[in-house]
Structure 1
Amino acid sequence: MRRLILHADDSEDDALLLRTAFEMAGLRNRIVRVSNGQEAINYLWGIGHYSDRLLHPLPHLLLLDLKMPLVDGFDLLEWLGSVPDFKELPVIMLSSSEDPSNIEKARALGARDYLVKPAKLEDLVELVRNLHATWLCKDLQPA
């Protein structure tokens, strides 16, 4: 079964690299990209054009960038922790920031892991293989 990934990242380039890495790894997960935390909230709640759950099902995994407009990664983590329906959604921070305080704060707010975006595509391919093995091969229910 192909597990749905919600990818919240304001960088189109990073989103394209992530899709490319999944393809190069031979993984066929459906990836839905939203460009900020507010759009992620809208997707998760099924607001607006996300209201059709056949077209926009709940994700099995959220890959979350830290620095985004409107609602950043920390604010989205706080929101997720306050909504019982989404407390069990696995959230992986995928950020270019290596700041230890960001890593600590993300984990304290409920991120299951914090991964630094690699500079090389081959390293990103390995990262998505590990993500798939760890988070998408388990018997997980969508949020």
Structure 2
Amino acid sequence: MTRKTILLVEDNEDDVFALRRSLKKAQVANPVQVAEDGQKALDYLAGVGPYADREQYPLPRLVLLDLKLPYRNGMEVLAWIRQQRSLDALPVVILSGSDEARDHKNAAALGIHDYLVKPPSPDRILQVIESLGIYQSVGAG
């Protein structure tokens, strides 16, 4: 079975914990990799430095992206993703504490799949993952 990895780009440990808990409650078994800042997200996606090993750090099938990040903010990361031919179809879901219309509009202009306000419910996360066709359930082998 192909691993359908989710890349979570989030600098807040509490939010990482909450998302992992929501995924578990939704019985989502997809592997989750975490990049703690915008630059690490770019390095991961480009496969450079420690992320060059695609066996250990596979290209994700979904990016959950916070907007407020150190080094490079979420909009910069999203814009970079959309400039990469190899990644331009990669689904990106904004996962942010901000529900400002401006953030929604700017993210939509850069081609996001969805916009979730933290903390998203397990049902909402499951709905997004299923809509992308990458859902791996607990117990599936």
- Relative to the length of structure 1, the TM-score reads 0.88
8 Å contact kept, 1:60–1:136: no
Q: What is the letter of the counterpart of residue 129 of structure 1? A: L
Between 1:124-133 and 1:91-100, the stretch displaced more is 124-133
Identity of aligned residues (%): 38
Equivalents in 2 of 1:133, 1:125: separation in Å?
12
Equivalents in 2 of 1:112, 1:131: separation in Å?
9
Q: What is the letter of the counterpart of residue 67 of structure 2? A: L
| Alignment correspondent of 2:126 | 129
Q: Could you list the runs of 4 or more consecutive aligned residues of structure 1 that deviate by over 6 angstroms after TM superposition?
A: none
Equivalents in 2 of 1:81, 1:4: separation in Å?
19
| Alignment correspondent of 1:141 | none
Return closer, same or farther for 1:52/1:79 CA change in 2, 3 Å cut-off. same
Q: What is the letter of the counterpart of residue 123 of structure 2? A: E
- Matching of residues 36-55 of structure 1 within 5 Å: 36-55=37-56
| Alignment correspondent of 2:99 | 98
Listed as ranges, the gaps of 5+ residues in structure 2 are: 136-141
Listed as ranges, the gaps of 5+ residues in structure 1 are: 139-143
SS at match of 2:132: helix
8 Å contact kept, 2:61–2:134: no
